[in-house]
Amino acid sequence: MLEVSGLAWAGTIGIIVALLALDLTLAALRPHKVGFKEAVAWSVFYIVVAVAFGVVFTMLAGGEYGTEYFAGYIVEKSLSVDNLFVFVIIMSTFAVPEEHQHKVLTFGIVLALIMRAIFIMLGATLLSLFSFMFLVFGALLMFTAVQLFRHRDEEPDIEDNGVVKIARRMFPIADDYDGGRLFTRDAGKRVATPLFLVLVAIGGIDLLFALDSIPAVFGVTEEAYIVFTANAFALLGLRALYFLVKGLLDRLVYLSTGLAVILAFIGVKLILHWAHVDISTSVPEISTPVSLAVIIGILAIVTIASLVKTRNDPAAKAKPGSLKAAKPRDRAQDQ
C-alpha cells in the first residue's frame, strides 16, 4: 500500500489550490475572450505540470504506482473531453457571453474537484471495508457503458436536469445577463441572472460525471492519493482545453463509443479483481500496464477513425452521448 504523509498531502493540495487560485484571479480580474494562442499556452502548461508531477511521483513511489498515476490521468483526461461536449452545450443553450465563459469553466472545475474529493474519500472507505464494492463499481461502469453506447448519438437535455428545474422553481430568472453578476434587480425585485442558472447546470453535470469517473479511476488504482491527483491534474487543464478544442469537438464522432468501450473494459477489470479476491485466486486479473495500453489504443483508434469519418463525410458531427433516451419531443426536433 502506498504510504503518503500528511505533509505530502498538504503540499499536493497546496499546489492544486494555488493553480486554481491563479485561474480564479485571471477570470475575475481580466474577463476576456480566450484566444487560440493563449489556450495553447495554458494547455501545454497544465500538461507539463501533470507529466512533471507524474515523473517526480514515479521517482519517489516507484514504477508501479507511477504507471497507475499515468493510467488514471489518461482515463480522467479522456472522460473530461466528454465533459467539454456538455459544457459546450450548456454555453450554447444559455448563450453565455464569451468574456464570462472563462469564469464559468473555472467555477465548474472547482466544483468538480470538491465533488470528486468527497466521492474519492467515500469510495476509498467503502473499498477498504467491503471488497464486494469492486463488484458494485464494476457493475455500475458496465451499466453506464451500455447506456452511453445505446444513446451515443444523443445530447443531454440541460433543461431536463433536476438541479436546473429546482433552481427555476426556487428563483425567478431574469431574461438578460447583467455583466458577471449572479443576481440582479428587475422591477425592484431581486432575481437570478442566466449566469446563475448556467452555474447550477454546470454543478449538476459535474455531479453526474463524478459518479462515473471515480469508479472508473478506482478500476486503475486503489490508492486514494493517486485517484485524487489524477483527477485534479486532468481537471485543471479543462478550462484551457475547452477554448483550444471547442471548434474541433464536432469531429470526434466516435468519442462516445470509445468512452463506452473504456468504461466497459474497466468494469470488467473491477469484476475480475473482485472474483480474484473473493472467489478464487485462479481468476485472472488485468494488470495496470495492460490497462494503460488498452486505454491508449482505444483512444488512438477512436481519434483516427473519427478524423477519417469527418474527412469523408463533412456533415457528420459528434454528440456527447447521454445516459438516458431523449424525450419524444426532442427527437422530433432533431429530425
What confidence tens digit (pLDDT) does each residue in 117-164 have?
888 888 888 887 777 888 888 898 888 888 888 888 777 766 666 777
Which of 93, 91, 116 is closest to 105 using CA atoms?
91
Which of 120, 96, 99, 93 is closest to 228 using CA atoms?
120
Radius of gyration of the chain (CA): 20
Residue 57, all three cell numbers: 511521483
Q: At what angle do helices 288-312 and 255-278 cross, to 10 degrees?
A: 160
Q: Which of residues 100 and 328 earns the better pLDDT score?
A: 100
Give the global pTM.
0.77
Q: At what angle do helices 224-236 and 98-129 cross, to 10 degrees?
A: 170
Q: In whole angstroms, what is the distance from residue 114 CA to residue 127 CA?
A: 20
Q: pLDDT by residue (tens digit) across 8-60?
A: 999 999 998 898 888 777 766 666 666 778 778 888 898 999 999 999 999 99
pLDDT of residue 331: 46
Cβ contact 225:204 at 8 Å = no
pLDDT at 86 over 60: yes
Q: In whole angstroms, what is the distance from residue 87 CA to residue 105 CA?
A: 8
- Average pLDDT (311-316) is 84
Q: pLDDT by residue (tens digit) across 240-253?
A: 777 777 666 777 88
Q: In whole angstroms, what is the distance from residue 297 CA to residue 319 CA?
A: 21
pLDDT of residue 323: 63
pLDDT of residue 55: 96
Q: Which residue has the cell 499546489?
A: 15
The full set of domain ranges for the chain reads: 6-334
DSSP state of 181: -
Cβ contact 224:65 at 8 Å = no
